Structure 1
Amino acid sequence: MLTQGASAIGIANIAMDGTVLDTWYPAPRLDEAVADSGTVRLGAQDVTPQLLRQVLLDEDRRVEQVAVRTRIADLSAPPVDAHDAYLRLHLLSHRVVAPFDLAMDEVFDMLNTVAWTNKGPCLPTGFENVRTHLRTRGLIHVYAIDRMPRMVDYVLPDHVRIAEAERVRLGAYLAPGTSVLREGFVSLNSGSLGPCKIEGRLSSSVTLGAGTKIGLAGIVTARHDERGRRIPLRIGERCHIAICAGTIGVDLGDDCVVEQNIIIDPATPVDIVEEGRRVSAWELAGRDRMRFYRDPDHPAVCMRPAEGPAPRIDAEPID
């Protein structure tokens, strides 16, 4: 985990009661010169003309847009406030840092529940009155009432495909060449380290190696520890998790296959047919070239060595 710092200048939406709704950082960066963590408001002389035009009071939304500078002294330390949390999410989606490089366990707790609209974020409380004012500016679309916003409203990484914007959260890390198809989902502090094809669900704290494919309705889910924090889950390169298949808390090495309708978790009994013995799935965690499959002669899930790598996923994946 990185112990260096980070900093960025951005625009924060702050409700009239002081609630931080979001903060957008267009150019976050690592910064070893940061001594203390925190956020300060900036004056006109400290921001570019483009950002200065966004400093305003939106009376219809009951929100003040302010320019801020946020600094994080140590990325391995927990976030101190909502601005800090948003900077960490931006660092991930801008590919400045990779998942597991920084402390993310308490980020979700720092964020406030927000009504995400096409006119900007609003407080959910009393929103119908706000909607009445906003309708003078056109039809109002409420995308969600949630703590986490869509990534594409803040960061649009190069050379990726996202079929459904709602299904990729800010804080996702998508390597160039990755496709997230319509039923795919990628949470924060999670994503692909190389070209991947995702048509299933990735929980937070999951990484996929280059060339991995997650099939329709597949799941890759990191388990929680005793304190409720996600335990990082790693899937290796060139793996294939088929339709309605997945792993819950069991790492996979390179060139692994989980055939359709098979879900493995640490306690799943697995028959190693060639060795004539049964183990629990956790004992196989992290191994390369495993193929999990069903055999009518065995009541448990079976495993044998995978035969050859999965098909290559090019930089411009094709459905």
Structure 2
Amino acid sequence: MSNSIFSLGLGVGTQNNKGEWLEVFYPQPILKPTNHSLIALICKAVGYEGGNQAITLAKAQVAKLADELYEAEEKAQAKIARTLAEGDQPVVVTILETDEAPTSVPECYLKLHLLSHTLVKPHGLKLDGMFGVLPNVAWTNKGAIDPSELTQAQLEARCKGDIIDVLSVDKFPKMLNYVVPAGTRVGDGSRVRLGAYLGEGTTIMHEGFVNFNAGTEGPGMIEGRISAGVYVGKGSDLGGGCSTMGTLSGGNSTVISVGEECLIGANAGIGLPLGDRCTVEAGLYITAGSKVNVLDDQRQVVNSVKARELAGQSDLLFRRNSTNGAIEVLTNKSAIALNEELHSHN
């Protein structure tokens, strides 16, 4: 059984007054484990019988698991288990035998952690139906609270002279409260959701935004919006206020991506995938159905196409004709070079 485990995580989280999970933190999730003795030990200790399961553990079970892990010289996971046993929050062991659509909050959070720990790239996991599984949560300075229990919690806090600061009500928390990827900079943690993938060398400026199941290969400079499902290649720069079209609404099923060494100018946007070394001038939004005039080396129009016909092609410069307003495309052989000093993560 241990040879077929897809992912595993020891986690601690928050439940509402009904005992329903609101969120889970996995300090060190494991993907496709090769240490089969470790997995066999954990599976036996928690009574795992196969399939995808989220098993809530009593404190005595967690303490026993910690002792067994120390005896087996599995020090990293043993330390996590010992810390969990000493706490007073509910503990869960989530074991995924296969990568299937998640059916519980702990399963959803394990997959979001796998993405933000950069163990799996965007589109590398099945997340179907996740929105229906995840509850809305009031994210506060006192932790996660069920919105239906918020008023009572606020009343109790004020009676003690305290205030609960509600930061947001959402299905997704801030990534940085769960994972801080190595070698990255994030100007405003509230603008990067758990489940974002930030490759080493990525800078997210204060107005940048990264949704779940989306992100950057790194290095890269992000001052615009990376919508759900969008993946940005290394060396690319998304200018201030620019956007990338996601696939969560509007009936858009095309996966949008940005290749390597691309530049999307300030307040520009794309609704089609870009190849490598492409540039979209500031203020220009291109959708798949946009009419584009193709120019030759003498800047003469040789053809007019829908932008979707250029999807994924490299070395293109998209611009707006300043005279007639037409969208034009021509070959762009100059790659975008990031300022190494400006984007240093040391």
- The TM-score with structure 2 as length reference comes to 0.82
Deviation per CA, 1:193-218, whole angstroms, max 9, x where unpaired? 12111111111101000011111110
Q: State yes or no: 1:208 paired with 2:232.
A: yes
Contact 1:200 1:216 in 2 (8 A): yes
Say if 1:225 and 1:231, in contact at 8 Å, map to a contact too.
Answer: no
Structure 2 portions without partners, runs of 5+: 40-49, 67-80
Q: 1:15-70: CA deviations, max 9, x gaps?
A: 1123311011000011357841011112232252211232x2xxxxxxxx311100
Q: Which 10-residue stretch deviates more, 180-189 or 94-103? A: 94-103
Contact 1:205 1:231 in 2 (8 A): no
- Paired residue type of 2:156: H
CA gap of 1:259–1:229, structure 2 versus 1, over 3 A, is: closer
* Cα distance in 1, alignment partners of residues 192 and 249 from structure 2: 24
- Name 2:222's counterpart in structure 1: 198
Amino acid at match of 2:208: G
- The gaps in structure 1 that reach 5 residues or longer are 57-64
Q: For residues 235-256 of structure 1, what are the alpha-carbon distances to aligned partners after superposition, in whole Å with 9 as ceiling and x for unaligned?
A: 10000000110102x0100000
Task: Report the identity percentage.
Answer: 31
Alpha carbons 1:105, 1:229 under 8 Å: kept:
no
The CA distance in 2 between the partners of 1:220 and 1:266, in whole Å, is: 12
Contact 1:89 1:170 in 2 (8 A): yes
Q: Radius of gyration: which is bigger?
A: 2
Equivalent residue for 2:94?
A: 70
Equivalent residues of 1:204, 1:230 under 8 A apart: no
**Which residue in the other structure is 2:43 paired with?**
none
- Residue 262 of structure 2 is aligned to residue 239 of structure 1: yes
Letter aligned with residue 97 of structure 1: V
Aligned AA for 1:115?
A
Q: Which residue number in structure 2 is paired with residue 289 of structure 1? A: 315
How far off is 1:225 after superposition?
8.4
Decide which of 133, 137, 140 is 2:156's aligned counterpart. 133
- The alpha-carbon deviation at position 158 of structure 1 amounts to 1.4
Q: Which amino acid aligns with 1:210?
A: K
Q: Superposition pairs for residues 27-176 of structure 1, below 5 Å? A: 27-31=28-32, 35-42=50-57, 43-44=61-62, 45-47=64-66, 48-54=81-87, 56=88, 65-75=89-99, 77-135=100-158, 136=160, 138-176=162-200
| Structural mapping, 1:212-223, within 5 Å | 212-223=236-247
Q: Deviations over 1:106-143 (max 9, x none)?
A: 22221100110111100111412211223438442211
Secondary structure of the equivalent of 1:157? coil
Q: Match for residue 71 of structure 2? A: none
Provide the alpha-carbon RMSD of the alignment. 2.3
Give the length in aligned residue pairs. Answer: 305
CA offset at residue 172 of structure 1? 0.3
TM-score by length of 1: 0.89
Check 1:23–1:137 CA distance in 2 against 1; reply closer, same or farther (3 A cut): farther
**1:70–1:107 CA distance, 2 compared to 1 (3 A):** same
Among 262, 269, 274, the residue aligned to 2:284: 262
Letter in 2 for 1:26: P
Flag the structure with higher helix content. 2
Instruction: Give the Å deviation of 1:165.
Output: 0.8
Q: Which deviates further from its counterpart, 305-314 or 90-99?
A: 305-314
Query: How do 1:296-311 and structure 2 match up within 5 A?
Result: 296-311=322-337
